[in-house]
Amino acid sequence: MLDYIIVGCGLAGISFSEVALSNKKSILVFENESQNSSKIAGGLYNPVILKRFSEVWKAKEQLVFMNDFYCNLKSRIDVTFDFKMPILRKFYSIEEQNNWFSASDKVALSPFLSPHLLFKKFSGIDSPFGYGEVLHTGYVDTALLLKEYSKYLKVNLLLRCENFDYNLLAVEEDCVSYKDVKAKHIIFAEGFGMHSNPFFNYLPLDGTKGELFIIKAPLLDLDVIVNTSVFILPLGNDLFKVGATYNWKDKSDLPTDEGKLELIERIREIISCDFEIIEHFAGVRPTVRDRRPLIGSHPSYDRIHILNGLGTRGVMLGPAMAKALYDSIENNIPLDKEIDIKRFDKKSK
């Protein structure tokens, strides 16, 4: 009998798989590649919400755990996917500079916001008001991570690439069974695909569509991430990842002309040189109304669990949320009430 069946191999599924494996637990992962939000994600980790100059929920704890987690994961798959890189917030006015200074004086934000303005010149960007530097930032190449981790699981016979049929899942007294597999627990980490899951589709997962570009800009000389209304992330060879849009109505993963025009307009607000669109991506982020993840056990079946709702910050949230769910199952450590799906119990009755 296995310890865990895990459904989904995006950031949430990988995070729980790695936590389980690092604790010597046996797993089997099911993945049908129907969701692509993790694969096309920007992958930035940033402890500050730059739009409002406020701290990301429990950012310090997430960053500490994330760094150790990705370091250990790198040793397992022997691939570098975590890149430390400064994030600079471009200023458009004296008022924005003053807001930055005010934010950097706050106790919660002072470890993450440099109090010194940066006036570095980047070819292809005009910034007379300079930049503010966010500390402890970088990005994860999510496409590379998912590809290499899936490869590792396949080689070790821990991955089945097939649709998961909920009708074939049986809950027994001491385990769950699915086809030829028995396990002590099952974890659903399906992202926006949760809406097809009869065990958890009562939960308020909204989903927010995001669109991104890969652009080529030979005259843009940038070795940091610049973030304003969108981010510009250097990939090397004159290529840059740019994103992202936010659409709360469209739940498809198809690129749109509307998203394309919005991204083009925002890019032109930041850079002053020409660029060429190489690729255009879209995906639906698993977001929740109260901006907190969906973690916990089914109200009627204590062997069926969910790890979802990582939203726009899956790179930071995933490892810590996977550990929290694992500890709640294996060590009876209560989940934080802000992330526990019990907060929606009344809506499910």
User: DSSP secondary structure string, 154-210?
Assistant: HHTT-EEES---GGGEEE-SS-EEETTEEEEEEEE--GGGGGG-TTTTTS-B--EEE
Task: With a cut of 80, say whether residue 348 has pLDDT above it.
Answer: no
CATH topology of domain 86-136+208-285: D-Amino Acid Oxidase; Chain A, domain 2 (3.30.9)
pLDDT in tens, 14-39: 999 999 999 999 999 999 987 777 87
Q: What is the pLDDT of residue 60?
A: 92
C-alpha–C-alpha distance, residues 171 and 274, integer Å: 58
Determine contact, residues 151/76, Cβ cutoff 8 Å.
Answer: no
The CB density around residue 284, as the number of other CB atoms within 10 Å, is: 22
Q: Say what percent of the chain tops pLDDT 90.
A: 90
pLDDT in tens, 163-213: 999 999 999 989 999 999 999 999 999 999 999 999 999 999 999 999 999
Angle made by CA atoms 7, 332, 292, in degrees to the nearest 5: 55
pLDDT in tens, 223-260: 999 999 899 999 999 999 999 999 999 999 899 999 99
pLDDT in tens, 42-69: 899 999 998 888 889 999 999 999 999 9
**DSSP-derived pairing of the beta strands 159-161 and 27-31:** parallel
Structure tokens at 89: 């917030």
Q: What is the pLDDT of residue 347?
A: 47
Q: What single DSSP character describes residue 344?
A: G
User: DSSP secondary structure string, 81-145?
Assistant: -EEE--EEEE--SHHHHHHHHHHHTSTTTTTTB-SS-B----TT---TT-EEEESS-EEE-HHHH
For the chain, domain boundaries:
2-45+143-203+289-348, 86-136+208-285
C-alpha–C-alpha distance, residues 271 and 335, integer Å: 44
CATH number of 2-45+143-203+289-348, picked from 3.20.20.70, 3.50.50.60, 3.30.460.10, 1.20.1250.20: 3.50.50.60
Looking at residues 331-336, what average pLDDT do you find? 97
Residue type, 41: A
Q: How far is CA 263 from CA 21, 244, 255, 259, in A?
A: 40, 7, 11, 6
Q: 287 by DSSP, 3-state: which?
A: coil
pLDDT in tens, 263-313: 999 999 999 999 999 999 999 999 998 999 999 999 999 999 999 999 989
Q: What is the pLDDT of residue 346?
A: 56
Looking at residues 92-108, what average pLDDT do you find? 94
Q: What is the pLDDT of residue 349?
A: 40
